[in-house]
Amino acid sequence: MNTGVWSPSSDSLKHIERCRMIDLPRINDPRGNLTFVESGEHIPFGIERAYYLYDIPGGAERGGHAHKELEQLIIAISGSFDIILDDGYRQERLHLNRSYYGLYVGNMVWREMDNFSSGSVCLVLASTLYDESDYYRDYDEFLQAARRGA
Ligand code: TYD
């Protein structure tokens, strides 16, 4: 994906249609560029938690779950990786490779991440504190919930 704003095709259904690529502000400077994210301004949730993935070995896959309520902004702070989004009706594979693009992922979207480049770092801004009970880790369980409109 090369454009700054991603919107799924109009036949999208359910929760995947709320996912979008957000073109974050960029302060270009010969000393180095700066990007920032403000709750309510650039993303539709308050940030309660940040976590990041790093030292990711070649061929690794992350994710493999959905969240009942959690919203997230996922940023390739360094390097690149792919994210596959799935709301139980359709899938989209996206490539993140810019530190000024954030992928907003709402609730009830199964995500998998792969194709991490060497030295890549994935920053995630999250709307709630860590809560294991918010996860669907079983795809069939997620699918059933998604299709009954959870
Ligand atoms: P998980 O969410 O499955 O990682 P990913 O989606 O990136 O593959 O989390 C991996 C482990 O880390 C799991 O045991 C839960 C723990 N964890 C926390 O303790 N706090 C956190 O904020 C996160 C995201 C995970």
Q: How far is the CA of 20 from the centre of ligand 1 (A)?
A: 23
pLDDT digits (tens, 9 = 90+) for 31-80: 999 999 999 999 999 999 999 999 999 999 999 999 999 999 999 999 99
Q: Which position has the token pair 């974050």? A: 24
Q: In ligand 1, which atom is closest to the CA atom of 129?
A: 22
Distance 143 CA to ligand 1 centre (A): 21
Q: Is the CB of 54 under 6 A from ligand 1?
A: no
Share of the chain above pLDDT 90, in %: 87
**Centroid of ligand 1 to alpha carbon of 32 (angstroms):** 31
What is the pLDDT of the chain when averaged over all its residues? Answer: 91
Q: Are strands 20-23 and 101-105 parallel, antiparallel or unpaired?
A: antiparallel
**pLDDT class of 14 with cuts at 50, 70, 90:** low
pLDDT at 101: 98
- For the record, the structure tokens of 55 come out as 């030292």
**Please, which pLDDT band fits residue 15 given cuts at 50, 70 and 90?**
confident
Tens digit of each residue's pLDDT (9 = 90 or more) over 62-76: 999 999 999 999 999
pLDDT above 80 for 126: yes
Helix (H, G, I), strand (E, B) or coil at 40: coil
Pocket of ligand 1 contains residue 113 by CB under 6 Å: no
Domains, the chain, in order of start with CATH, read: 15-147 (2.60.120.10)
Beta strands in the chain (DSSP E): 20-23, 26-27, 34-35, 49-53, 62-67, 72-78, 81-86, 91-96, 101-105, 110-114, 121-126, 135-136
What integer pLDDT is reported at residue 55 of this predicted model? Answer: 98
Dist. CA 138–CA 129, nearest whole Å: 21
* Mean per-residue pLDDT, 23-33: 98
Tell which one of 71, 113, 130, 134 to mutate to probe ligand 1, the residue whose CB is within 8 A of the most ligand atoms.
Answer: 130
Atom of ligand 1 nearest to the CA of 132: 15
5 pLDDT above the threshold of 80: no
Q: Is 90 in the pocket of ligand 1 (CB under 6 A)?
A: no
Q: Is the pLDDT of residue 109 over 50?
A: yes
What is the position in ligand 1's atom list of the atom closest to the CA of 111?
6
